[in-house]
Structure 1
Amino acid sequence: MIQINDLKKVYNGVTVVNVPQLKIKAGESIGLVGNNGAGKTTLFRMILDLIRPESGEVLSNGNKVAGGEDWKNYTASYLDEGFLIDYLTPEEYLYFIGGLHEQNKPQVDEALLGLTDFFNGEILRKGKYIRDLSKGNQCKVGVGACLLQKPQLLMLDEPFANIDPSTQFRLKNILKEQNKKHGVTTIVSSHDLNHVTDVCERILLMEKGKIIKDIATSSSTLSELEEYFGVGQIASYDGVDKEENH
């Protein structure tokens, strides 16, 4: 699904992403973890062609993402509230997104019924503009818009950060269902190691722009990551630890 070759991004003389090679197969559930400044969001933005690298390329289904259009038809992402149209109500925004994907209002309404628990009565028919919602509820709108698109590839950047525990639980179930039931390739970044190891079958640990661990999730993965972050090994780690070939 996704292949990265010699991808590098530099800001003010500092290399913030340096990924020689990465392959993500269709149907995989990927968790991206790392400290602030590790390069996770920059990597996301290059995969989505929001910023251009100094060198290298991102391929989606074998085609270059940069300057391409086909990948947009099967890719949905939510990075932050800045990508929402905040002067619309949630309903107006969701109908707009549905319309972009040739869905009429009744079809969008039907799809939104499946998000009733996730929205928890806090999103629709509240008479609020998106800009007036909490960050957590803005996240719900963004994720809901992604799911309306019925994507083959779903990318979420820190989706658990601002939502309450009940919504976190519901979102984890949604992500598992999308991956297991519908075969959606999911890539989720998160600072919360518990959530990401629960949802994702493969964990990429990123630090100083490099992917330094590539782990198949197992019963020991959470404790391994907690130990890794806790003992402060990251700053001195210069290699790549591959525990499973992909």
Structure 2
Amino acid sequence: MSLVNVTGLTVEFGSLRAVDGLSFRLEQGAALALVGESGSGKSTVASALLGLHRGTGARVGGSIEVAGVDVQEAPDEALRRLRGGKAAMVFQDPLSSLDPYYAIGDQIAEVYRVHTRVSRRAARARAVEVLDRVGIPDALRRSRSRPHEFSGGMRQRALIAMALACEPDLLIADEPTTALDVTVQAQILDLLHTLRQETGMGLLLVTHDVGVAAESVDEVLVMRHGRAVEHGPVAAVLGSPSQPYTRDLLGAVPRVDAPRAAAQVREEPPEVVLEARGLRREFGRGKRAFTAVDDVSLTIHRGETLGVVGESGSGKTTLGRMLVGLLEPTAGQVRYDGHARVGVRPAVQMVFQDPVSSLNPRRSVGESVADPLRARGESDEGRIRERVRELLERVGLEAAHYDRYPHEFSGGQRQRVGIARALAADPRVIVCDEPVSALDVTTQAQVVALLGELQRELGLALVFVAHDLAVVRQVSDRVAVMRRGRIVEEGPADEVYDNPRDPYTRQLLAAVPALDPRIAAQRRSARRELATL
């Protein structure tokens, strides 16, 4: 009997059919990835496997069997035993999945006690055991820590530990690496692979990142509009896709081994529009002082893109905020057009990582885009409204969207609103802080193409801050690699990527997911060997 057997699954929310007649199987110990764009129905399917739509008003049809349990017909008590016992789920955002008030170890112990009825002491011991198993250092001490005391990667490991506590037959991982940088992502994917080998559990991986699928699974099921587009062995689907949609999806994936298609030809000497000299930024005082950026110097030329890459905590975002003027440096200087810059200047704007939190939910997107126009003294409301409509159309939205609110837009559309707002100030430099990290690959490609088009038409300089090395190579003329607040390597993008000098740069590149499963396996083996040295 298959570990998972889904036949004719449909899920409807009101008039919307999110999943439409989906069927698939997953055998014990095997791994299957559900791949597709945002809105394709992937996460809806994952939730249906554990009966999480029950009581929500969603209408679920078809047959779902998981670890011998008929999810559609099982009583609530049987579903509770299934969840966490025979099948466990790891969600995309570990911070919202963990209770901020309780220690990590206590939360894992509570899950274990619900399913096994053991003593508190035995449950706490089990919590420490699984935390150690997923690679949390000093697991006994860290089990007493609360979620905010863990990094993003450690919180994701803690969620995996919680899922493993009861030794489930099936692990469902819903976008488990979306918010993680490449090295931590590689660690989590390696961990999932090792756990499969050692425990024999099955894995259902939900992801929009085709590279992550190549690293992790045996089979791929490509979804679009709630339906299966293509299904087969990972090497066949990714190597020789039979369906146009799958080919388009693969074509949108940025490649770390592909040079930028159209490198810019420049006349010498290039015009320097923004310059950082010896920037340093400290947070806290005395013994608690932390240096986030340490003696960083950069030049940004008119019309070029400077990529800034590094792991979480490397100082990328702090550097970007100092370049814009949102943070004042502890030491050093930012110069615009050859003059020291004080405070925020309209000529240097920022596009933020999370367009949801950077847009006021109580104001229409048109009013948010209009803010820079009013800030520089424009008072004619008719002219303001006309200019905002022009900007919305310029970034691929509609003039009529002026009066809509952020919640009415998709993630990619909200990011376009953020770009329109930055353009409203007529900038010469835009600092983009992880502008596509939360978007699926096709939406990523659209936003990146938009930025490139605007750069060519307006002569903008871009500073592209990101942890995704493939995207950075695609868009950048030059690249600066940051580690622990310092730049460890800088140069033309192709030179840095093809002939990295610094060991840290080589380590980052080795962690990038490969679309070829054979190469992915070789890299995983190489990482395992390095870890044992």
Report if TM-score (shorter chain) is over 0.5.
Answer: yes
Which residue is 1:242 aligned to? none
Which residue is 2:401 aligned to? 124
Given that 1:77 and 1:155 are in contact with CA atoms closer than 8 Å, whether structure 2 keeps it comes out as: yes
Give 1:77-96 correspondences, 5 Å limit. 77-79=350-352, 80-81=354-355, 82-96=357-371
- Indicate the RMSD between aligned Cα atoms, in angstroms: 2.8
Query: What amino acid maps onto 1:104 in structure 2?
Result: I
Query: What amino acid maps onto 1:93 in structure 2?
Result: S
Tell me how far apart the structure 1 counterparts of residues 411 and 445 of structure 2 sit (CA, whole Å). Answer: 17
> Which of the residues 282, 285, 299 maps onto 1:10?
282
- TM-score of the superposition, structure 1-length normalised? 0.78
Distance apart, 1:17 and its partner CA:
0.5
Q: Deviations over 1:29-65 (max 9, x none)?
A: 1111000000001111111222222211111112222
Tell me how far apart the structure 2 counterparts of residues 220 and 209 of structure 1 sit (CA, whole Å). Answer: 19
Given that 2:412 and 2:447 are in contact with CA atoms closer than 8 Å, whether structure 1 keeps it comes out as: no
SS at match of 1:229: helix
Query: What amino acid maps onto 2:460 in structure 1?
Result: V
Distance apart, 1:27 and its partner CA:
2.2
> Which of the residues 187, 191, 210 maps onto 2:463?
187
Which residue is 1:213 aligned to? 489
SS at match of 1:203: strand
If asked which structure has higher relative contact order (CA below 8 Å, sep 6+), I would say 1
Tell me how far apart the structure 2 counterparts of residues 226 and 55 of structure 1 sit (CA, whole Å). Answer: 27
Tell me how far apart the structure 2 counterparts of residues 174 and 92 of structure 1 sit (CA, whole Å). Answer: 22
Distance apart, 1:181 and its partner CA:
3.0
> Which of the residues 479, 491, 507 maps onto 1:228?
507
Given that 1:87 and 1:131 are in contact with CA atoms closer than 8 Å, whether structure 2 keeps it comes out as: no
- TM-score of the superposition, structure 2-length normalised? 0.38
> Which of the residues 346, 370, 379 maps onto 1:73?
346
How many residues in Structure 1 have an aligned counterpart in Structure 2? 224
Tell me how far apart the structure 2 counterparts of residues 208 and 133 of structure 1 sit (CA, whole Å). Answer: 36
Given that 2:395 and 2:450 are in contact with CA atoms closer than 8 Å, whether structure 1 keeps it comes out as: no
- Identity between Structure 1 and Structure 2 (%): 25
Distance apart, 1:91 and its partner CA:
2.3
Answering whether residue 308 of structure 2 is matched by residue 32 of structure 1, we say yes
SS at match of 1:23: strand
Query: What amino acid maps onto 1:8 in structure 2?
Result: R
Distance apart, 1:164 and its partner CA:
2.9
Tell me how far apart the structure 1 counterparts of residues 389 and 402 of structure 2 sit (CA, whole Å). Answer: 12
Distance apart, 1:130 and its partner CA:
2.7
Which residue is 1:244 aligned to? none
Tell me how far apart the structure 2 counterparts of residues 215 and 110 of structure 1 sit (CA, whole Å). Answer: 37
Which residue is 1:202 aligned to? 478
Distance apart, 1:74 and its partner CA:
1.5
Query: What amino acid maps onto 1:10 in structure 2?
Result: E
From the CA coordinates, give the structure whose radius of gyration is larger: 2
More helix by share: 2
> Which of the residues 329, 338, 342 maps onto 1:62?
338
Given that 1:48 and 1:65 are in contact with CA atoms closer than 8 Å, whether structure 2 keeps it comes out as: no
SS at match of 2:278: strand
SS at match of 1:73: coil
> Which of the residues 383, 389, 395 maps onto 1:115?
395
Distance apart, 1:108 and its partner CA:
2.1
Structure 2 unaligned regions, length at least 5? 1-272, 512-533
